[in-house]
Amino acid sequence: MTTLMRNYVNGEWITTGRTFPTLNPVDGSHVADVSEADQDTVDRAVKAARAAMDGAWGKLTAAERSALLHKVADGIEARFDEFLEAEVADTGHSYPHARAIDIPRGAANFRIFADLIKAYPNEAYEMAAPEGGAVLNYSHRRPLGVVAVIAPWDLPLLLLSWKVAPAMAAGNAVIAKPSEETPATATLLAEVMAEAGVPPGAFNLIHGFGPNSAGEFLTTHPGIDGITFTGESHTGTIIMKAAAERVKPVSFELGGKNPGIVFADCDFDAAVDGIAKAAFSNGGQICMCTERVYVERPIFDKFVAALKRKAEALVPGRPADPGVDMPPMISAEHRDKVLSYYRLAVGEGATVVTGGGVPQFGDERDEGFFVQPTIWTGLGDTARICREEIFGPCCHVAPFDSEDEVIARANDTHYGLCASIWTQNLARGHRVAHAVQAGLVWVNSWYLRDLRTPFGGVKMSGIGREGGMHSLNFYSEPSNICVKF
């Protein structure tokens, strides 16, 4: 029997008149059908969220919300295997990856923000009144209200909970829309919310697409008080235009064309390993992945050869197969997009160091959405594959001759999400990190995160910061209260 994933509104499961399928990216098989939210469903979700803010959810203290979010984390952990199977079926991630990162981090996000909200700092200042007496100014933070949470497909549970947890910790009611490609763990999360005793309307889940579907209905709804979105930059501009009509606050983590800068004095093996991970992890389907690599000329040829060996050692396959570390692309559409850039690179005159096509298995995996990890050299910085985000397992590697040159080239982009710098000269590392225009810069590492620190991009890579108190700052608004006595 085919599974039907439904919308969750005001504590009830809702089926609409339209459904769409989800496919397993490993072999293209049918996983489930999903009920697509219509305008009426979104209206009901907004009304339910508003009622929750005025009712049981809005009356909870921070400590009470914290306790509920810990119960949500407990629920994820209690149903770990169900979440694991759902995430793997939707994404094609290997079991070790999903078991070590996707599901544990989903639960951890709720615990992190459940604890942080109890320690949220406020300001207080005393002053003298001009006519005598004293004045106390202190800050008080209120939730935004009803928050639309739109999450991507690359790390579905992790990135959804990264937004839902702080939004709810701050006291907001949430309407979550996962990617249409990866609805399963979001649906399980709604079940866990109900089991944990979260009041009806505090968490709502709608399924669907963007234009003329749930995404557009949600972001243009007059009852939404704030929008948080992770995804492609073009979609972000559309959402921002919708939000501008009612001056709604937005938090965007958008695309990137992230540079990796490798100096000749680097720890060579560590740099090769780090760039390989940055280019090919999760099939290149992470916003922080590196698609532009700049290598100082004295080690350029040696580095390209070593990176080629790393790429060719990657193993594509089924999630349960031993040693698999190259998942498929999320969909046939995305695979075709990545392959179009592979063809474009050749058309632009790139040298294909390795890859550039589709692996052949001789079994049902040939119906899946795999592509080969790919490395190019030989193109100038104006080539399209050096400027446009591909979001696949690929990178272009180019030589450079000076620090000033590589900084200018790294910054010559519309994006500014992340960068990595590889050098054993820490003075240079600090200097270049300060000069690179990016929201997050690693020196001699990649993907190393303290979740309390600010995360977000500049330029077309986003607006605002997420992480620790930075997330809570977005999901709440400060008021100053001035008391004369």
Catalytic residue among 36, 87, 180, 253: 253
Q: Which amino acid appears at position 131 of this protein?
A: E
CA separation, residue 164 to residues 3, 12, 168, 229 (Å): 25, 19, 6, 11
DSSP state of 447: S
Phi, psi of 126 (to 5 degrees): -110, 145
- Contacting residues for 402 by C-beta, under 8 A, at least 6 apart: none
Nearest to 164 by CA among 196, 139, 138: 196
Phi, psi of 51 (to 5 degrees): -65, -35
Catalytic residue among 180, 266, 287, 289: 287
DSSP state of 466: B
Q: Got the DSSP string for 48-74? A: HHHHHHHSTTTT--HHHHHHHHHHHHH
Phi, psi of 31 (to 5 degrees): -95, -50
First to last CA, the chain: 70
Q: How far apart are CA 385 and CA 317, in angstroms?
A: 26
CA geometry: angle 346, 352, 358, nearest 5 deg: 85
287 is catalytic: yes
Nearest to 103 by CA among 120, 85, 115: 85
Q: Which two tokens stand for residue 241?
A: 């235009």
Q: Which residues are catalytic?
A: 253, 287
